[in-house]
A and B are shown apart, each in its own frame.
Chain A
Amino acid sequence: MVNRQTITESIRGFISPKTLAYPSQPSPPPEGFRGKPEFDSKKCVGCGACAQTCPMGAISLNDGLERSIRIWYGKCSFCGRCQDVCPELAIRLTSEYELAVFDKNKASTDIEIDFESCSSCGKKFFPAPQLERSFERMKPILEKRNISNEELRILDRVCPSCRERPEEFSKRKLFLLNFG
């Protein structure tokens, strides 16, 4: 039957209900909340590490004329693995969580990354920003050995199938010998 504890608690609740005024006022999640993941188009190099590591398979790579990376929130578990592995810190989990949609395909975000064209055959073969980023990373190493950055750049703008052609192959061999 009626007990005192519940009565005092009830009366306290009667005077001041605990309900949030949510839809009329926003209810921000605490700091560090893992909400909707978003790309930073300036930072993303299109390496696809996120798509490979995603435990849910929510991130898909689609290589056509350009590489498009898509996060489908309908499959995302908001675990933040993509954020952990992204070498460029280009994926960030925002604090947004109101994702309800009428069309499930609309719950997604895309990013398009340009491909580099092969300097030899013109085929699009590798994400251009990633290539650029790898040159940047190589730069101090090359400088240490007094090798010009440009040489590598020319070599690496050749697609894998062209690299197997004899003249390209010998060029690479020369460079690698030079490199030690």
Chain B
Amino acid sequence: MIPSNISSVAFYILQPFFGFIVGALFYWVFRKVRARLQARRGPPWYQTFADVTKLLFKESITPLIADKTIFFLAPMLAFTGYLVVLLQLPVGNVYPPFAGDLIVILIFLTLPGVAVILGGSGSGSPYGAIGSSRETALLVASEIPFIISALVTGIQVKSMNILRIVDAQNQFGPMAFHYPLATAAFFMCMLLKLGRKPFDIPDAEVEIIAGPYTEYSGSLLGIFEISNALRWFVVPALAVNLFFAGGLANLLVFLILCLIVVVVISFLDAQNSRYRIDQAFTFLLTWATLLAVIDLVRASTGWLQW
């Protein structure tokens, strides 16, 4: 399905809005499910929109000792990272005009993490600095299983083009069926990418207040909130594209699959306590990496395939 010029322009204009709205709703779903699992009622559906609007129209204070440039650029950088990934993701049967490459997507997905690290250390607060150092450690630890498990799909179809990966699954069934271990590893890293428990130590409230975000306020925090909404669409959408695509490839089914992923993540978040930084590091580098590597070996050698 190769879109014409007009539809490709329409795609580039609409996709960010679509991503933001759906992401905001997914984030609300997460909060709602978590609240219900905690025997509470939870926020109303428009919560994320209210939060973002409020923050954008609120005063933004820059700390005196913060590095101004980095402090301002970090939220933009995070936003850009997710935006670039978003514009390369196929959404159900709507394919992007420029075929997304898995490597590019994975690299751009680290950009928000880097942005948070920069923003945290540039803000001049000790909490920001500690949050940044924790974020760095987790980023390093998570990239390995994350990239390996994502690459499993690419290696299987012998192409790094995400459209090929989706198409291949349309023919042979979802990757999650063929590579459950890589899927599990991907899920663990996804919890981290979304900043959820047990890997939410970079902004653990009781330890370091809000970690890298501690000094952000008003509109700059609002931009972080927008990128947070985007990531709640991008990350589950990537997971669905890589591991659960196939069969009925239309928009609705795609969104439902994303929703299921979001609910599973909410459930895992609600059922876990927080790993200490060393525990998270060890967990990611042993178990998650091990699972990913097993499937990588299976994908590249063709052993034990079904």
B37/A10 in contact, CB under 8 A? yes
**Is B159 an interface residue, CB under 8 A from the partner?**
no
Q: Is the CB of A6 within 8 A of B36?
A: no
Which chain B residues lie closer than 8 Å to A19 at the CB level?
Answer: 39-41
Question: Is the CB–CB distance between A2 and B41 below 8 Å?
Answer: no
Please encode chain B, from 26 to 54, with 1 for each CB lying within 8 Å of some chain A CB and 0 for all others.
Answer: 00000001011111110000000000000
Q: Assess the A2–B271 pair: CB atoms within 8 A.
A: yes
In the bound complex, what is the Cα–Cα distance between A9 and B38 (angstroms)? 8
Chain A CB within 8 A of B76 CB: no
Which of A1, A13, A18 has a CB less than 8 Å from the CB of B272?
A1
Interface of chain B residues 206 through 235 with chain A (CB within 8 A)? none
Query: Is B39 in contact with A2, judged by CB distance below 8 angstroms?
Result: no
Q: Does A176 touch B at the CB level, under 8 Å?
A: no
Residue A30, interface by CB 8 Å: no
Contact B39 A6 (CB under 8 A): no
> How far is B35's CA from A17's CA once the two chains are assembled, in angstroms?
9
Residues of B within 8 A of A13 (CB): 36-40
Encode A60-104 as 1/0 by CB contact (under 8 A) with B. 000000000000000000000000000000000000000000000
On whether the beta carbons of A14 and B272 are closer than 8 Å, the reply is no
Q: Which residues of B contact A9 (CB under 8 A)?
A: 39
User: Within the complex, what minimum Cβ distance (angstroms) separates A13 from chain B?
Assistant: 3
- Give the nearest-CB partner of B283 in chain A: A1
For chain A, residues 1 to 43, give those with C-beta under 8 angstroms from any C-beta of chain B: 1-3, 6-7, 9-14, 16-19
Alpha-carbon distance A17/B253, docked complex (angstroms): 29
Nearest CB on B from A18, distance (A)? 5
B120 → chain A, closest Cβ, in Å?
A: 28
Interface size class of B (residues with CB under 8 A): 10 to 19
Cβ-neighbour of B39 out of A3, A7, A17 (below 8 A)? A17
A21 nearest in chain B by CB position:
B41
Determine the distance from Cα of A2 to Cα of B272 in the docked complex, in whole angstroms: 6
- Known: A2-B268, A2-B271. Contact between A10 and B41, CB under 8 A? no
Closest CB in chain B relative to A3 CB, distance in Å: 8
Size range of the interface on A? Answer: 10 to 19
Q: How far is the CA of A18 from the CA of B40 in the complex (A)?
A: 6
Which residues from chain B contact A6 at a C-beta distance below 8 Å?
Answer: 271
CB of B175 closer than 8 Å to a CB of A: no
Indicate if the CB atoms of A14 and B36 lie closer than 8 Å.
yes
CA distance A68 to B38 in the complex (A): 50
Bound complex: CA of A16 vs CA of B272, how far in Å?
21
Residue of A with least CB distance to B39:
A13
Name the A residues within 8 Å of B41 (CB-CB). 17, 19
Residue of A10, A12, A18 contacting most chain B CB atoms (<10 Å)? A10
Cross-chain contact B36 with A7 (CB below 8 angstroms): no
Inside 8 A of A12's CB, which chain B residues have their CB? 39
CA distance A114 to B271 in the complex (A): 66
Residue in chain B with minimal CB distance to A16: B39
Q: Are B40 and A7 in contact (CB under 8 A)?
A: no
Tell me the complex Cα distance, A19–B198, Å: 26
Query: Hey, which bits of chain A sit against chain B, CB under 8 A?
Result: 1-3, 6-7, 9-14, 16-19
Question: What residues of chain B have their CB less than 8 Å away from a CB belonging to chain A?
Answer: 33, 35-41, 198, 268, 270-272
> A2-B271, A10-B38, A14-B37 known; 10 other A-B pairs, CB under 8 Å?
A1-B198, A2-B268, A6-B271, A10-B39, A12-B39, A13-B37, A13-B40, A14-B36, A14-B39, A17-B35
